[in-house]
Structure 1
Amino acid sequence: MFSQDADFKMDVLREVGNIGAGNAATALSRLLDKPVDMAVPKVNLLPFERIAEQVGGSEAVIVAIFLRMEGDAPGNMFFLISREQTRHLLQGLLGIDAAADGDYSELELSALCEIGNILAGSYLSALADLTGLYMSPTVPSIAVDMAGAILSYGLLQFGTMGDDALLIDTTFLHGSQESEGHFFLIPDPDSFEKLFRALGVPI
C-alpha cells in the first residue's frame, strides 16, 4: 500500500512539473518573441541536505535565484544553475555572451532573475491549479556564490526550511543546444501535508 501511495505521489508531482514547464515555455516565448522549448522535466523528492549535491557540491560556485512562496502552503524556492550552464542559457535564449568567469552585468543578472521568476510563477501556478490552494511568489533575489553559502543564507533569510525538497530538473532547448538548471521547491515543515492532502494523496 505504501508503494502505491508513493507512486501516486510521484505521478502527481511529475504532473506539476510537466504543466509548469509547459507554462514556462509559453511565457518565455512571449517574453522573448521567439520559440522556447523545454524538455519533459525529471521530478524527484530529496532531503534538503542533498540539494548541494545536485549542483556539484557545497563548494561549487553557482548562480541562484531564490524567492519565498506565500499563501496557503508557504515555503521557499531556489533555481540553481552552474556558471557554465548560465553562459549557455544567456547565449541560447538571449543572445548574450556572458563572461566565463561569472562576472555578470546588471542586464545579465536582471535577465536571469526574470527567467527564475517565470519558472517559479509557472510551477506555482500549476501547483495552485491542481491543489486549489492560494500560492504566490515574492520578488526574486539573485546571488553568485558557493552552493553551501547560498543555502545557508537561505536558512538565515527565511528561517527553518522544510526537511524535504521537490526537485524539478529543468532543461531549456535552443536549436541543437540545451541548458540545464535545477528548480527546488522547499515547502515549510507543515506545508507538504497540506499540499498532498489537497492533491488527494494519502498521508
Structure 2
Amino acid sequence: MLVWINGTFGVGKTQTASELHRRLPGSVVCDPEHVGLGLHRMTPPALRSDFQLHPAWRQGVFEVLDLVLGKQQGVVIAPMTLTEPAYYDEILGRLREAGHEVRHFALLADRETVLARLRERSLSRSLKREAFAVAKLDGCLERLRAPEFAEHVETDRLTVPQVADRIAASAGLSLAANADGPLRHRLRRIGVTIRHIRL
C-alpha cells in the first residue's frame, strides 16, 4: 500500500510521515522531493524552477514508487504537496492503474495554524526562510479542499500522533502504541525538523 500524505507546505506532512513510519513496522518513507532535488542538482541554476513542472519529476516519482511498491512488503509512505489534478492523475492514478493500492490524505488546517507551524519549523519567530511556503499557502489550502483531493484530515486541533492515528484507522493499518510523553514528543519533532532542513 502507498500512503500519500498531501498538504500545504508546513502543515505537518513530514512529521506525520515520520510518526507513521516510527509506529508502523516494515514501512518505508519514499520522499518524492528527493527526485526533485536530484533534478535541481543536475541542472544549472538558471534552469531551475518548480521541479513539479518537469515531466521528468513526475515520471521519476511514478517509476520509483512503482518499483518500491512492487518489491517492498510493508507500507510505503510518501509525503509531498501535490495540488495540480493532472499531476495527481499522472502519478497516483497511474500507480492505481498499475495495480497498487493507493491511499491519499490531504492534511488541512487554518491559515494561522499553518503559519504557526512554519514558524516552529524555521526554529525562529521570523518567516523569512519560509517565504516560498507562505507565498503558496492560500492557493494550496484552497486547491486541497477540493473533492478530488479527499480524503481530508483537519489537523488544527490534533497532535501529530493523533493525525497518524486518523490516517492509520482510515487505511486499515495497525500502529504500535504511542508511548511518548509531551517532552519526548517535542524532542522527536525537533529532531525531524533538523533532519529535514534544506541548506
TM-score by length of 2: 0.25
Higher helix share: 2
Higher strand share: 1
TM-score by length of 1: 0.25
